[in-house]
Homo-oligomer: A and B are copies of this chain.
């Protein structure tokens, strides 16, 4: 599992459509092992679709996708099993751990990390939107998987929680590097976490710009390079000067 070739992701000339709606057009992309790729693009352009293709949940209409290694996804919405408690939901990634004690410890630690310890016996429908998202985050980090696909995983979190989660994710990835494809609308997030940022065009989506971000970690929010990266991303999104945006 820690084989260097284990987590390759290659997208080769992939197009996808739902009936009439063309969503991806001739997309080619290679994600390197343990690389963190952030996807940024307009709403409805096909980011979720791309993740579904990467994880193998859907087959592309044309083109080829190669995936090596096991992938897990943080879904954009409601990926928790509603019939399991938070504790049990997090536990499903650890079913293969033979020692119950070790399993329980790991679950407890993850719940601590996402600050849901006191809600471990709640069912998903008894949680707030942000809490559900955090539970899903804990679940995806449990156990061992080579690839993480994350679809706006922090979108329902408050600013502070977002910062914490970002930090924790970085910490977890440092301990156990993984290949990550991460969809976000948050420029800060992209600049702080990415090895590479891909800017997608409007639907049908193609990669209209690729920004490698080579800033050494840890990256401070106010570091010049990070601020510069953020500005770069905004520029790539066609938002050269948001300062002028008035409401």
Contact of A220 among B156, B239, B246 (CB under 8 A): B246
Given contacts A77-B78, A221-B243, A243-B222, contact A156 B162 (CB under 8 A): no
Q: Are B247 and A166 touching (Cβ within 8 A)?
A: yes
Does A126 lie at the interface of the complex (its beta carbon under 8 Å from any beta carbon of B)?
yes
Does A72 lie at the interface of the complex (its beta carbon under 8 Å from any beta carbon of B)?
no
Q: Are B158 and A128 touching (Cβ within 8 A)?
A: no
- Contact digits for A98-132, partner B, Cβ 8 Å, 1 yes 0 no: 00000000000000000000000000001111110
Q: Are B129 and A48 touching (Cβ within 8 A)?
A: yes
* Residues from 137 to 167 in A contacting B, C-beta threshold 8 Å: 152, 155-163, 166-167
Q: Are A43 and B185 touching (Cβ within 8 A)?
A: no
A167 CA to B44 CA, complexed, in Å:
20
Shortest CB–CB separation between residue A121 and chain B, in angstroms? 10
Does A192 lie at the interface of the complex (its beta carbon under 8 Å from any beta carbon of B)?
yes
Given contacts A156-B76, A220-B246, A221-B246, contact A162 B185 (CB under 8 A): yes
Contact of A161 among B42, B152, B157, B220 (CB under 8 A): B42
Does A40 lie at the interface of the complex (its beta carbon under 8 Å from any beta carbon of B)?
yes
Q: Are A221 and B239 touching (Cβ within 8 A)?
A: no
- Contact digits for A213-247, partner B, Cβ 8 Å, 1 yes 0 no: 00001111111000000000010011100111111
Question: Interface size class for chain A?
Answer: 35 or more
Q: Please, which residue of chain B has its CB at the minimum distance from the CB of A171? A: B247
Does A134 lie at the interface of the complex (its beta carbon under 8 Å from any beta carbon of B)?
yes
Q: Are B192 and A247 touching (Cβ within 8 A)?
A: yes
**Inside 8 A of A242's CB, which chain B residues have their CB?**
163, 221-222
Does A10 lie at the interface of the complex (its beta carbon under 8 Å from any beta carbon of B)?
no
A247 CA to B189 CA, complexed, in Å:
10
Beyond A43-B128, A44-B130, A163-B245, 15 additional pairs, beta carbon < 8 A: A43-B129, A43-B131, A43-B158, A44-B131, A47-B128, A152-B156, A157-B185, A158-B237, A159-B234, A166-B247, A167-B247, A192-B247, A217-B247, A220-B246, A222-B242
Name A residues whose Cβ lies closer than 8 Å to a Cβ of B.
18, 40-44, 47-48, 76-78, 126-131, 133-134, 152, 155-163, 166-167, 170, 185-187, 192-193, 217-223, 234, 237-239, 242-247
